[in-house]
Amino acid sequence: MAIGLALFTACGVETPAAPPSTPAPPGTTTVLTTLPRPSSAPSVPPSSAPPPSTQQPKTGKVVVLDPGHNGGNAGKPGEINKQVPAGRGKKKPCNTTGTATNSGYPEHAFTWDVSQRIAQALTAKGIRVVLTRQNDTGVGPCVDERAAIGNEAQADAVVSIHADGSNSDGAHGFHVAYSAPPLNAQQGEPSTKLATALRDGIRAGGFPTSTYLGTNGLAPRADLGGLNLSTRPAALVECGNMRNAAEAAAMSSEEGRQQYAAVITKAIADYLAS
């Protein structure tokens, strides 16, 4: 995150645009964009995503996936630049446009595709998945609304998916952020445990930890609104640096996005089973 940090949208080189009914049963994927009105509409996997596997018995677990940013943010500066609560007595812009690779592949498209793949895989394991946005063409939702979706869903884990955009020489690798110092009990040990499980799982999957932010792949943060406002175990994954050629190539490819999704899915499942 190149440290123009923005709330739950923590991505580097984030450019502010110029200017979430009855809950679905476990083992289904739900999209929520306003509260308190969860939608039971199933999410639509990207055309490039693998076919669904055989669904396992319901686990009773709920995971909220928060794909960073949104494809329509850049066209609605008035909406995404409005100030909203960001926790710790502060306000920040509703959202940002996110970053992109040097060749123009946007972070919002990457986070949407990877989140859809994770949602499909977790649903196949009998885990109910809630998404904070329903497509990659809309605006927002704001970071406080994204946090509220996780809280309302009583999520066992809230995982925000992002990618960074640092221009620092040699900057590469992933890191996992969590709220610190904690503002409530769920931001304490549960969130730290979730962040550590994600870090361990992604690293075990062959991805290197960040060379430029955090320590050993973990980054305690006090400035991310979505984490500050969460009352559930929550963490934010910066999958890598989109300005690094090798990581940009992986994020831009279907194979690379599937690899990211697979290791994050396993890490979440391991956390829920622990």
pLDDT tens, N- to C-terminus, the chain (274 residues): 433 333 344 565 444 444 434 444 445 555 543 333 333 333 334 434 444 444 566 889 999 999 999 999 999 999 999 999 999 999 999 999 999 999 999 999 999 999 999 999 999 999 999 999 999 999 999 999 999 999 999 999 999 999 999 999 999 999 999 999 999 999 999 999 999 999 999 999 999 999 999 999 999 999 999 999 999 999 999 999 999 999 999 999 999 999 999 999 999 999 999 9
Question: Sign of dihedral through CA atoms 70, 98, 79, 66?
Answer: positive
Q: What is d(CA 113, CA 68) in angstroms, rounded to the nearest whole number?
A: 11
Number of CB atoms found within 10 A of residue 273's CB: 10
> Whole-structure pTM over 0.85, yes or no?
no
Residue closest to 224 by CA, chosen among 191, 261, 262:
191
Which residues are part of the catalytic machinery? 238
Instruction: Report which of 240, 213, 242, 237 is spatially closest to residue 227, judged by C-alpha positions.
Output: 237
3-state secondary structure of 128: strand
Residues in a beta bridge with 176: 218, 237
Give CA–CA dist 260/114, Å, rounded: 7
| 112/76 Cα distance (integer angstroms) | 19
Q: What does each C-alpha distance from 238 to 41, 52, 249 come to in angstroms?
A: 28, 26, 16
Q: Which of the 8 DSSP states describes residue 197?
A: H
Element (H, E) at 99: none
State the Cα–Cα distance between residues 259 and 241, nearest whole angstrom: 16
- Cα–Cα dist 23/16, whole Å: 34
